[in-house]
Chains A and B, each alone.
Chain A
Amino acid sequence: ETGVTQSPTHLIKTRGQQVTLRCSSQSGHNTVSWYQQALGQGPQFIFQYYREEENGRGNFPPRFSGLQFPNYSSELNVNALELDDSALYLCASSLERGQDYGYTFGSGTRLTVV
């Protein structure tokens, strides 16, 4: 059983650019969540996708958008990058949206905006 995989592992972008981060969920998992973790802070919920539809969103502006594909993999897109977007972006997958267990995270994408 493969775990959650994210790509790329590291990325450097310039302010104002756009970025796409990718996540392959664990085999059989149909729910994907994205989190942003700034240095020294806990992860913050961006949004969750369940069976290709957005199922909850945190306090992030519309320039943060996402997709989930039929194979349950997912993308996080960020437009008009700002310096404060520099963070570790984490993807987590789970089997059902309501299950009572913690999620498994991928190793993350570390984004630096300069």
Chain B
Amino acid sequence: RKEVEQDPGPFNVPEGATVAFNCTYSNSASQSFFWYRQDCRKEPKLLMSVYSSGNEDGRFTAQLNRASQYISLLIRDSKLSDSATYLCVVKGGTAGNKLTFGGGTRVLVKP
């Protein structure tokens, strides 16, 4: 079983629509959680940290459920520029300081 699992997609999303996806993680001792965005053939870039209380950054909302060990990301009013691969990342606990990535969820926003 992978440490961090994501639906690879692609999620085909009409422009202006809302899309949500999540990931699950296996290490219950994980301490920090993130969503990264990766464009084709580019490096991953930090989108946002994720907290149990939930956090929002503009059109993006992230949520952590520690009991069920899953992390979600919701994108409202999708833009064409939101097309990318979204990587779920966990860090800490018994895994130390390394970042453990999921395989990514591909999102395609279409006109």
A residues apposed to B, CB below 8 Å: 31, 33, 35, 40-45, 48, 55-56, 58, 88, 90, 92, 97-98, 100-108, 110
Contacts and interface: CB of A to CB of B under 8 A. Distances in A.
Contacts, number: 62
B43 A107 contact: yes
Nearest to B32: A100
B99 A90 contact: no
Interface residues of B, number: 25
Interface centre among A43, A58, A110 (most CB of B within 10 A): A43
Contact of B99 (A88, A100, A103): A103
Contacts of B96: 48, 55-56
A102 B43 contact: no
B43 A108 contact: yes
A42 B102 contact: yes
